[in-house]
Amino acid sequence: MDFMLQAMLQLAAVVAAAKLMGELAIRLGQPSVLGKLLAGVLVGPAVLGWVESSHWIEVFAEIGVLLLMFLAGMETDLKMLNENRTSSLAVATGGILFPLVGGYLVGWLWLGLDQGHAIFLGLLLSATSVSISVQTFRELGKLGTREATTVLGAAIADDILVVIGLAVVLGLLTAGGVSLGAVFGWMAAFAVVVVLMVWKGIPLLLRLSSRLSVTEPVLSAAVVIVLLMAFAAEYSGMAGIIGSFAAGLAVSRTEFKEKVERGVERIAYPLFFVSIGLHVTFDGLGEQWLALVVLCALAVLTKLFGAGLGARVTGFGGRSSLVIGSGMVSRGEVALIIAALGLGNGLVPVDLYTTVILVVVFTTLAAPPMLKWTLREPKGAAAGAGEVRNVRDGERN
């Protein structure tokens, strides 16, 4: 079949499945994002085989997650983010150390990996992708809470620490080597760019664009800024979502916030959520089922306990610590990228690769219901009808 015809059919299947499964999830009392993730499993190679992950799908998915994190940045209170920087760092540290050590020990002592492969497995399990958690917080109307702000701050710190760890591991275990000094240099350069753009650059660009006579000049300028900031983050060795999140923080400080937010929210981004499910395949699972169960349990519990402990020791209560730990469970696209990098460099055994991908997808699927459960109102608490309606409306967006 012609590529364009095939792409149109696949896109139609993805959008329809995402919306229908999202509606089903809501009717079952779960966030719609869980249904969208399962939609990828349904139409992908694991079940129906209608759609396979391809380059164009990944590109659209990446743009979608950048816009999602841009919205998260616009809805984040910068003052609250700064006030919770200590908690965010503690959450990120705990959320890295526990999976890193746990993954290393299980890989070395039980799976029989050599120490280099075991370290890389631990590093892979240390990654965090809060894109799924952000959407769940948004649907439940909780993105502006202290817990959500701490999770966002921890995700930024987590990404920086994992990138440094990845550079060290690749430098030590691969022939090509990676310069740790270069990694720090690029990160420092990007930090300077972010500060200048958030402080002066982005507000100035939006004001200048508002003088243009073309349609939606401010919204167009905002999209350009998001893509350029994401490019700068990727080029400096970090995840693009950090750049798009920073762009959102900058726009939130301008008089154009509401206009840009309304425009970006109209852009659908189901492809990102569905694309996670498209990576699921059950080939060779029969021989690795026990490893899958153990690694799934390890991945969830080490993040939940490690990140939750970081929150607890910095002043959060037990319930809030569970919320934060649950928000850090999802590995998402960050771990998928690290897994592919490890496979290409011989750091992830081929026979373990499918299992690792399934672990990543499982943690991503587990995050929304875990957050839904930990964010539930305590028994006996009277919730106002208006608040209930707001949550319901948020789930349907």
Digitized pLDDT (tens) for each residue of the chain, 397 residues in all: 678 888 889 889 888 998 999 899 889 888 888 888 889 889 988 888 888 888 888 888 888 888 888 888 887 777 888 888 999 999 999 999 999 999 999 999 999 888 888 999 999 999 888 888 888 898 888 988 999 999 999 988 888 888 778 777 776 776 555 566 777 788 888 889 888 988 889 999 999 999 988 888 999 999 999 999 999 888 887 778 888 888 988 998 888 988 888 888 777 566 777 888 888 877 767 778 899 999 999 999 999 999 999 999 999 999 999 999 999 999 877 788 788 778 877 888 878 888 888 898 899 889 999 999 998 866 655 444 444 444 444 444 4
CA distances for 149 relative to 113, 319, 365, angstroms: 37, 16, 21
Return the pLDDT at 175. Answer: 53
- For the chain, what's the residue count? 397
Q: Which two tokens stand for residue 381?
A: 């608490």
- Asked if 70 and 248 touch (Cβ cutoff 8 Å), the reply is yes
Cα-only R_g, the chain: 21
Q: Which string of DSSP letters, residue by residue, matches 57-91?
A: HHHHHHHHHHHHHHHHHHTS-HHHHHHTHHHHHHH
Is the backbone of residue 153 left (phi > 0), alpha (psi -120 to 50) or beta?
Answer: alpha
Angle, alpha carbons 193-195-200 (nearest 5°): 95
> In angstroms, rounded to a whole number, what is the distance separating the alpha carbons of residues 58 and 53?
7
How many angstroms separate the CA atoms of 264 and 70, rounded?
Answer: 9
Instruction: Give whole-number Cα distances, 100 to 35, 124, 319, 370, in Å.
Output: 30, 8, 25, 22
